[in-house]
């Protein structure tokens, strides 16, 4: 088991792109969803698949269990997806010694760009990148499970 501690932000502008490495294409879908738990399948670059169980809802800290699964089994589970399949490209961006994950969403969520920072540290506002906007940590509408089930939320 791993403890996931992350902050989530909407991204403003494209200033992050010049700092980003090559992206990884991610396709993910949910098999089960509840107020404080989810079961997700994620396929990376069409070559690797993982099954992830998360407990803790949209809290900043959640318990996470993650397992490699055969790619063909991941594809076989996709017809059982709840809501839409999320398509996004994940970029890693370094800023002040921290690695940010910036997700540019596609298809029905096109135009949405979010940044996540996994850290237990409190990062002062002055140390945040200029390209991060409103923090949406703890706002369920901006978590991937809600995006899959409900689509794009209104801006906070």
Catalytic residue ranges:
30
Phi-psi region of 45 (alpha: psi -120 to 50; beta: other; left: phi over 0): left
- Closest CA relative to residue 51, chosen from 93, 91, 80, 90: 80
What are the CB-based long-range contacts (under 8 Å, 24+) for 96-105?
96/127, 98/123, 100/16, 100/129, 102/11, 102/16, 102/20, 103/26, 104/23, 105/147
């Amino acid at each position: 088991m791993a403890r996931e501690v992350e902050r989530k932000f909407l991204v403003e502008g494209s200033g992050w792109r010049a700092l980003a490495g090559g992206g990884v294409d991610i396709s993910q879908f949910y098999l089960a969803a509840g107020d404080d738990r989810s079961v997700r399948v994620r396929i990376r670059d069409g070559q690797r698949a993982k099954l992830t169980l998360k407990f803790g809802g949209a809290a900043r800290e959640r318990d996470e269990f993650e397992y490699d699964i055969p790619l063909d089994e991941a594809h076989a589970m996709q017809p059982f997806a709840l809501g839409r399949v999320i398509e996004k490209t994940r970029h890693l961006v370094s800023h002040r010694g921290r690695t940010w994950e910036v997700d540019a969403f596609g298809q029905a969520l096109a135009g949405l760009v979010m940044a996540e920072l996994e850290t237990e540290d409190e990062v002062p506002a002055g140390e945040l990148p200029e390209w991060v906007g409103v923090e949406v940590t703890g706002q369920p509408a901006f978590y991937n499970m809600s995006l899959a089930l409900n689509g794009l939320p209104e801006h906070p």
